[in-house]
Structure 1
Amino acid sequence: MDHWPFRNLVLRTPRLELRPDDDEGLAELADLAIDGIHPPDRMPFGVEWTDAPRDRLGNNTFQHHWQLRATLSPRAWQLNFLVRLDGRVVGVQSLNADDFPVLREVGSGSWVGLRHQGGGIGTEMRAAVVTFAFDHLGAVAARSSAFTDNLASQTVSRKLGYRPDGTFRQVRRGEPAEQTRLLLTPDRFVRPDWTLEVSGVTPCLPLLTGREPAE
């Protein structure tokens, strides 16, 4: 028995390899975060974690991912896929759910290192996890949200077929800011022109869907 089957889960697109986080990869991810994710005068994240002091970002990255790994269950989970291009970590793409066995909905979040932005990586990695959720987990909806001034995230969502699903306000750096909720269903998903390769998923299904895989 493999006691942590996620170490064998792999999603592959034409350019990228996505694997759930491991400690060696987290070291690369922490270095990437320290190098920069967004200009200092902007904040694309609902949780302002990149405002932490530079000497804390690495430690915080490890602790955050460890905590999510330790509490994963069908009731609440978040998979943080480390995204590699040519063998190097260039960002992270999360897929999360609450009460998935009942609701069968997922959410997502992501970031790409500043020096790797602008080449379509964000769209490709989001398409990968949405395809995985619909085709391998049986999700009926994928949700996301983005600040109205986060044009990059809004563009990715639009390309893949998400539609607006209301708004909400939150405090960002001490000021009110508006986020747009986004919803994608399998019938509206604008699928990429490539096929996602997935390996190692079967042993992971009970921990994500609460169901044993079919014989």
Structure 2
Amino acid sequence: MPEPIENLWPPFGLMITCGPLSLTPVRDSDLPSLVALAQSGIHSPTEMPFGFPWTLGSTEEVKLRLLQYHWAQRATMQPASWTLETTVRFNGDVVGCQSISTRDYLVTRTGETGSWLGAKHQGRGIGTLMRQAIAAFMFDHLDAAEVTSAAFVDNPASLAVSRKVGYRENGVDRLKRRDGEVAQSQKLVVTAETLNRPRHAFTVDGTSPLRKFLGLTP
């Protein structure tokens, strides 16, 4: 009998549950739902909350960028540099993605969160809960010293979520956003001491194989 996919690729064994919310590493079977969600809209056409404007263009262009991005992140995941992209479900429905990205994590113990929610799922507290869950996971299960994030200063909704989670301001960057456009990006940082933890029951399965895969356990 062939080995289960979770044995072949340990990240697939991870399951983070926080009340009605669950986070699981993005699988190919999740991609059709994520593509449909992204194509249905994430933000107003006049706004751009992302450092890389992947939501610009036709629905076919958005689909291709999303697929290629997720395959690329999985293919290059290794202890020296990794991005863990998770599919977010709320009451069983796919509502968006939550990620944590690192570089030299075995030394820095620092990761940066990134996320998006389908427009129809915004304003319900899901964004706050998924960020609380990924931060708690990093501190409790992957030995993080801090978790960082960033949002453009004209994205008050994202900054409000960060404040609710317990992030503190940590400087400002000037970044290119769309062609010919510069925007200020507010940097943020949260520690285990400042994190406002979720009130829901919080459980994590599949940590041990993931820690070994990431070089955290000899």
Taking structure 1 as the reference length, the TM-score comes to 0.95
In structure 2, how many angstroms separate the alpha carbons of the residues matched to 1:16 and 1:211? 26
Partner residue, 2:131 = 126
How many Å apart are 1:189 and its aligned residue?
Answer: 1.2
SS state at 1:102 partner: helix
Partner residue, 1:188 = 194
Alignment root-mean-square deviation, CA: 1.2
Q: Which structure 2 residues correspond to residues 202-213 of structure 1 after superposition, within 5 A?
A: 202-208=208-214, 210-212=215-217
In structure 1, how many angstroms separate the alpha carbons of the residues matched to 2:191 and 2:91? 31
In structure 2, how many angstroms separate the alpha carbons of the residues matched to 1:106 and 1:207? 17
Partner residue, 1:152 = 157
In structure 1, how many angstroms separate the alpha carbons of the residues matched to 2:109 and 2:35? 31
Partner residue, 1:197 = 203
Deviations 1:27-78 (A, max 9, x none): 1001100000000000000000101322221122111100000000111101
Residue 11 (1) aligns with residue 16 (2): yes
Letter in 2 for 1:205: R
In structure 2, how many angstroms separate the alpha carbons of the residues matched to 1:211 and 1:193? 28
How many Å apart are 1:193 and its aligned residue?
Answer: 1.8
In structure 1, how many angstroms separate the alpha carbons of the residues matched to 2:90 and 2:166? 25
User: Are the equivalent residues in 2 in contact too, given 1:93–1:125 (CA < 8 A)?
Assistant: yes
User: Are the equivalent residues in 2 in contact too, given 1:9–1:201 (CA < 8 A)?
Assistant: yes
How many Å apart are 1:15 and its aligned residue?
Answer: 1.1
User: Are the equivalent residues in 2 in contact too, given 1:74–1:206 (CA < 8 A)?
Assistant: no
Mean CA deviation greater in 135-144 or 191-200: 191-200
Gaps of 5+ in 1: none
From 79, 94, 102, the counterpart of 2:99: 94
In structure 2, how many angstroms separate the alpha carbons of the residues matched to 1:85 and 1:192? 15
From 29, 35, 58, the counterpart of 1:30: 35
Partner residue, 2:76 = 71
In structure 1, how many angstroms separate the alpha carbons of the residues matched to 2:182 and 2:157? 20
Partner residue, 1:113 = 118
Deviations 1:89-130 (A, max 9, x none): 100000111111110011100000001110000000000000
- Identity among equivalent positions (%) equals 43
Gaps of 5+ in 2: none
* Runs of 4+ deviating beyond 2 Å: none
User: Are the equivalent residues in 2 in contact too, given 1:170–1:178 (CA < 8 A)?
Assistant: yes
Partner residue, 1:169 = 174
How many Å apart are 1:207 and its aligned residue?
Answer: 2.5
Letter in 2 for 1:196: F
Deviations 1:120-143 (A, max 9, x none): 000000000000000000100000
